[in-house]
A and B are shown apart, each in its own frame.
Chain A
Amino acid sequence: MDLIVCIKRVPQTAEAEVRVDSSGKDIVKDRLTFDMNEADTYALEAAILLKEKFGGTITAISLGVADAEDTLRIALAKGADSAVRIKAEDFGELDGFKTAALLKEVIKDIKFDAIFTGCMATDDSYYQVGPVLAEMLGVPHATLVSKVEVSEEKVRVNRELEGGLIEHLEMSLPAVFAVQTGINEPRYASLIAIRRAAGKEIKILGKEDIPVETKTNSTLEELFVPPVGKRAEILTGSADEVAARTAGIIKEKGLI
């Protein structure tokens, strides 16, 4: 099976301080660490598992600046056979729609049975790129995918709905699967594999290679810190003092 995985390199913001930069339209990125988007690690693993079962190739594609190549090398180390970076710096403002359009321009020339994306990127939370890419390529898709099981000419697909309910579908290939986190156990790349991947070539495509007009659906006007509604009463002091206050509050509520 020939498989494609779309991978985004994103800043890790869950535990970091996030500030607006001087343009007002982006965040200050110099002190943030970056890594493969969480759902994409599961998308990649899903592709590797299929390749292990059926043979074939995996192409990892990322639209990003030069650093995205580090993330693509991790994909190569884990089991991707080739990697492509589309130079984000060549294409100006992006949104989910334009990202999908650029990915499509590259993917349309590659033979594939399935494309795996994450269900959502944690930086922009679009939930768009997989299904838009599918529509542009003219193939079916499923989002929030929690299982892809391929057998002779039939693919069993589970989607995860609210409350943990599962929607079980049957699909045919080629198709795009936008996968949810937790659907497998993403492997770690071994040191040897990482060293080997360091020498592999990554194909880099820019404006001259993708000479089409792609448009965004939307323009970012400003970024701002979310207004705080109800803010918690923050208990301060030493760990001991805070613990005593908290225990007191819990007792007052009649819970101990």
Chain B
Amino acid sequence: MANILAVVEHRQGAVRDITYELLTFGRKLAEKTDGKLTGVLLGHNVDNLTDNLKKHVHRLIVADHDVFKDFNGDVYQQALADIIKKENPFLTLIGNTAFGIDFCPSLATHLGVPFTTDCIDAEIADSGIRVTRQLYDGKMDTHMKLSESPSYMLTMRSGTCPAEEGNLSAEMQKIESPITTQPSYKKFIEYIEAAVGDVDITKADVLVGVGRGIKEQANLSMVEDFAKAIGGVVACSRPIVDANWLPKDRQVGSSGKTVKPKLYIAVGISGAFQHIAGMKNADTIIAINKDSNAPIFNEADYGIVDDLFKVLPALKSKIMELKK
């Protein structure tokens, strides 16, 4: 019987999608062994969040305290260490998000619990845990077995286990917060919203996403030209923003914008899952990449395996012809 604990991720008053993915995944894993899924919600004035959460877990532990008003990884670590010691779960599930990776590795280390991160699947095997992870820019998968232990901890990649409707009605257990003050060495001050720029890529029907394959900043003008010809807007992958070639508000992906255009043309973008997360819901995706093994071709509807410097000008002139 594998009892599973899942940590509820919420921010600025809303439960984040990863939570329902984790709860769906955790419930299925627990039920396979007649175990129970317990959700842990640490927050302040979070009563309005519990109704929906209760549908997804067998039991919901809630610690309500103003120390949880905003996220501080250290506060979570201390509180969860206490709760996990008491609960003794077979497995603790956490999202592989900016939230989860700030406390899972150190928490598991503190507790002496074998753990691993960024899993895309996990199963209970030979009384232990086997996970699937991705390596080498998403070009390889691996199966890994965690060292034998009575307890494990994993972070799961978002988007790998679709959330399902919940039909449970959990009992709720309110507990005293194990921690009441932020530590002096790590204090949350505030959230700073992303700056808004002059172009809103989330509103465009046609986006031309450009990636590191463009090689040099000077080549961006070619992409701008192309975008103009097709009546679209230029967006990009993270390295283009890291290099300061385009502003942050043009970045598509998990740490950038989520877009849903009618057409997304990915130009010289490999298709890291952080990028895919931001554009997979486009109606039509066309990818241009010289590497036939680039992961982007697993997401695109149409693929062109060739040099973008050859394809883009050719495509531009064909589009101009059709427009006449």
On A, residues with C-beta under 8 Å from B are 11, 13-18, 20, 27, 95-97, 100, 122-128, 131-132, 134-136, 140-144, 158-172, 175, 180-182, 185, 215-236, 239-240, 242-244, 246-251, 253, 255-256
B77, chain A: closest CB distance, angstroms: 9
Report whether over half of chain B's contact residues are helix, strand or loop; otherwise say mixed. mixed
Report whether over half of chain A's contact residues are helix, strand or loop; otherwise say mixed. mixed
* For the complex of A and B, 4 pairs with smallest distance between CB atoms: A182-B242, A164-B194, A232-B303, A243-B314
Task: Report Cα–Cα, A235/B248, bound state, in Å.
Answer: 32
Task: Report Cα–Cα, A13/B134, bound state, in Å.
Answer: 13
On B, residues with C-beta under 8 Å from A are 11, 71-74, 96-99, 101-103, 105-106, 109-110, 114-118, 130-131, 133-147, 155, 183-194, 205-206, 212, 230-231, 238-239, 241-244, 248-249, 251, 254-258, 262-263, 270, 283-287, 290-293, 295, 297-306, 310-311, 314-315, 317-319, 321-323
Interchain Cβ contacts under 8 Å between A and B, 7 examples: A169-B72, A220-B143, A221-B130, A221-B144, A223-B141, A227-B141, A247-B322
A50, chain B: closest CB distance, angstroms: 18
For A126, A135, A217, which residue has the most chain B Cβ atoms within 10 angstroms? A217
Find chain A residues with CB under 8 A from B109 CB. 97, 100, 131-132, 135-136
Nearest to A234 among chain B residues (CB) is B303
- B137 and A14 within 8 A (CB): yes
Given contacts A123-B136, A142-B73, A167-B71, contact A224 B141 (CB under 8 A): yes
Task: Report Cα–Cα, A180/B131, bound state, in Å.
Answer: 26
Task: Report Cα–Cα, A160/B98, bound state, in Å.
Answer: 7
Given contacts A142-B73, A226-B134, contact A244 B318 (CB under 8 A): yes
Find chain A residues with CB under 8 A from B243 CB. 182
Find chain B residues with CB under 8 A from A227 CB. 141
Q: Which of B110, B206, B298, B314 contacts A255 (CB 8 A)?
A: B206
A15-B290, A221-B142, A223-B140 known; 19 new pairs, CB 8 Å cut-off, are A18-B136, A96-B117, A127-B96, A135-B109, A158-B192, A164-B248, A168-B188, A217-B115, A217-B147, A218-B146, A220-B142, A224-B143, A226-B139, A232-B285, A232-B300, A239-B306, A240-B318, A246-B315, A249-B286
- B305 and A234 within 8 A (CB): yes
- B314 and A181 within 8 A (CB): no
- B322 and A251 within 8 A (CB): yes
- A159 and B185 within 8 A (CB): no
Given contacts A124-B135, A233-B302, contact A162 B97 (CB under 8 A): yes
Find chain A residues with CB under 8 A from B130 CB. 221
B57, chain A: closest CB distance, angstroms: 23
- A169 and B188 within 8 A (CB): yes
B235, chain A: closest CB distance, angstroms: 13
- A18 and B140 within 8 A (CB): yes
Find chain A residues with CB under 8 A from B187 CB. 169-171
Task: Report Cα–Cα, A253/B322, bound state, in Å.
Answer: 13
Nearest to B114 among chain A residues (CB) is A217
Task: Report Cα–Cα, A25/B263, bound state, in Å.
Answer: 39
